[in-house]
A and B are shown apart, each in its own frame.
Chain A
């Protein structure tokens, strides 16, 4: 691509100088605050309380966001913040998956805190140039670019002039502009979004890293919750960071040898076993598309079904052929799991960049399932191109896919029609209409502008404008707390319904993915078992987000002897690895139990933050029925044998002579009551009231009886 074709001029606004200093045991002990409205830039000390109770990463993000906003702050108020932080372990180069950035802000979709994580080099670089976190607050009048130069100790704000916003161009331009030469490009990382983030609520943030083998930038995304929308609302065009001289000891760990040894142990395990286990190096997360289909779990046609006859067309092998260069890629140094994939020299067939040959990151499983089967699209090239446009336009692929599937079902049910969509024939499988929709979002025109509001706001609009049945919209609109569901079909797994529903930020599988444990392996049969899993796994997984770590190397590879351990699902050896590397970096002496308590503190803090913002109660944990069972006659009858036998087995209900509508009603009452019972059990296990509010006693036990938290929970007792 010829970046010279795109004009890039900047006007100087402000420079701030700071002292460069080495890290100590994983922390820089200071953070950076930038107000893009009044151009205030300052350093803040990291306090012992922050390190003890919030650890880092999304813990720091939530901590700062709490200080920055009030209960009446809206996502587009200037005081809303975007906080980005890695965590004390983040940036080590020895252990796979150690380069994550955690991003926190008030979400335009949920009106409460969202957290989302991304690979790429920004998070580690931010630490190495001197800051444990960056807070972005205020709202600029004109677009600004922030440049943090860790080779000089300067922070510069510049006004961006020129039209480039889309990441695949802007990221390349800025890498080019701020690198001294080709060699220096590996020292640049850029955060930006794209044109669609200006016009929708589902904007994401792209995090670049420079791929020295491909000689081009690669993108990783903090996708969920509309963070890119907030970024653009603040008129931030990009944040550029420059950090030279990455080595394996920049965290100044107390025990380098343990980091080296633990990292090598896992590299060897991946080398020996990945090919016979999940093939993450070969195909990445997309390896499970067909498995999901086989188990009737692949979301198809807006989660109506779990499989499709054409899934073979988007099978892993098809994408393996599209992924080029055959070199497994990590998104931070030392990631031998290397799930990042890319298709090079892909010639775009649609949109403003038609004819350009581009590198497309992915596809991840979520993209293939969401943009693919859920929208009824089984053309791998279309999925790749939609994936590309989601990224460069700055659209969260998951929200885009799930809301597109929703509007398709609305279209097929007559809630929408050609007149209402401005001519788009949004039937399942009509990829031309989906391309038109995505390009409309980039320009903020037509039905793209409406769809970009997200499912929750569309439901209200369709009810008001088109008098659609609100119950039907609630049943099929796959959002909860305002966030669109990620791409798993949870109907047949009660535990996964809890894994989606009883979350802090909304239905995203990063808290708990229990489908296989529950449904396939039947390891958690009772409510208490499920509740224990819905306590342990969300807490364990939260811990990755406190430390700048990726979840995948925890259980997408397992030691050869894992099956003979006491709790194979937890991968005990890997849990111990995390305890070891945390202690090796920080010099602390935690064990696997304290690890969970660290998470519990932040998890409860986030729950109370939600309550403070007017959400976070039992009523907000309710799920759309599509997530729990068959909504329509078509859905029921497609799996009639299964549902009939369940009615007989669980309820001793005689289905003879009953209409499908009658059976749906009985099934629904049963499944909804199961979810309520599960909710009771989970709240009890987590130490919450039956309304979902953390108890004072639980906060005291965790050492989180902070006055500002007690004030909130006491109001909601």
Chain B
């Protein structure tokens, strides 16, 4: 299963991961629009556990062939139950966006992390 793994002891809280994430998906550097959040050297990001898939009543959330949990925005009705029920608090809502967003383990943040505190893991 592909996921963004973390080694929090290495995190220096530089915020580069948040910037690249929000730039990649929302075209702006804005912590609120990042799927990864670093607060006091605590890294909050999706563990791809899939609990949100069970919570979603319209089956808008599913696991892709790499094991990554993804939100189908076309099917999503914007109830945000998945946000409230995420054990990692890693499903996000921002402003008046109508659908939630989350880490899809694309690895952009891992590339810019200066200390390798985050990295893509593909272990089963």
**Residues in chain A within 8 A of chain B (CB atoms):** 93-94, 186, 212-213, 246-249, 256-257, 260-261, 263-271, 327, 329-330, 333-334, 336
Taking a contact as CB atoms closer than 8 A, the residue among B59, B77, B93, B95 that contacts A334 in the complex is: B77
Q: Tell me whether B10 is interfacial, beta carbon within 8 Å.
A: no
Q: Which residues on the B side are within 8 Å of A212 (C-beta)? A: 57-59
B77 contact set on A, CB distance < 8 A: 93, 246-248, 333-334
Q: Which of B54, B58, B59, B96 contacts A260 (CB 8 A)?
A: B96
Cβ–Cβ contact A186 & B58, under 8 A: yes
Chain B residue total in the interface (Cβ 8 A): 19
Residues of A within 8 A of B96 (CB): 249, 256-257, 260
B114 contacts chain A at the CB level, 8 A cutoff:
no
Q: Report if B79 contacts A (CB, 8 A).
A: yes
The complex places the Cα of A257 from the Cα of B80 at a distance, in Å, of 12
Contact between chains at A213 and B57 (CB < 8 Å): yes
Minimum CB–CB distance for B17 against chain A, Å: 23
Q: Which residues from B are CB-within-8-Å of A268?
A: 83-85
Interface contact A247-B83, CB-CB below 8 Å: no
Contact A267 B83 (CB under 8 A): yes
State the total of A-B contacts with C-beta under 8 angstroms.
72
**Chain B residues whose CB sits within 8 angstroms of the CB of A334 once the complex forms:** 77, 79-81
Q: In the assembly, what is the distance between CA of A266 and CA of B80, in Å?
A: 10
Q: CA separation between A260 and B80, bound complex, in Å? A: 7
Contact A247 B84, CB 8 Å, known A212-B59, A213-B57, A333-B57? no
Give the nearest-CB partner of A265 in chain B: B84
A256 neighbours in B (Cβ, 8 Å): 96, 98
User: Cβ of A267 and Cβ of B85 under 8 Å apart?
Assistant: yes
- Asked if A327 contacts B80 (CB within 8 A), the reply is no
> Could you mark each residue 26-52 of chain B with 1 if its beta carbon is under 8 Å from any beta carbon of chain A, else 0?
000000000000000000000000000
Excluding A248-B99, A267-B85, A333-B79, 7 further A-B contacts by CB distance (< 8 Å) are A256-B98, A263-B80, A263-B84, A265-B84, A268-B85, A333-B58, A336-B85
The 5 A-B residue pairs with the shortest CB-CB distance, nearest first, are A267-B84, A248-B78, A334-B79, A256-B96, A268-B84
Chain A residues contacting B93 (CB-CB under 8 Å) are: 260-261, 264
Residue with the highest number of chain A CB atoms closer than 10 Å, among B54, B83, B84: B84
**In the complex, A186 Cα to B59 Cα: how many Å?**
11
CA–CA, A274 and B50, complex, Å: 20
A residues near B98, Cβ cutoff 8 Å? 247-249, 256
On whether the beta carbons of B57 and A264 are closer than 8 Å, the reply is: no
Distance between B96 CB and nearest chain A CB, rounded to angstroms? 4
With both beta carbons as reference points, the residue of chain A lying nearest to B54 in the complex is identified as: A327
Q: Which of A93, A246, A264 contacts B84 (CB 8 A)?
A: A264
Residues of A within 8 A of B57 (CB): 212-213, 329-330, 333
CB–CB B80/A271 < 8 A: no
* Contact string against A for B residues 52-73, beta-carbon threshold 8 Å, 1 for contact and 0 otherwise: 0011011100000000000000
Assess the A264–B83 pair: CB atoms within 8 A.
yes
Complex CA distance for A269 and B81, rounded to whole angstroms: 11
Q: List 12 A-B contacts (CB under 8 A).
A: A93-B79, A247-B77, A248-B78, A248-B80, A249-B78, A249-B96, A263-B79, A264-B84, A267-B80, A329-B57, A333-B58, A333-B77
- From residue B75, how far is it (CB to closest CB) to chain A in Å? 9
Whole-angstrom CA separation of A249 from B79 in the bound complex: 10
Q: Which residue of A lies closest to B81 (CB)?
A: A336
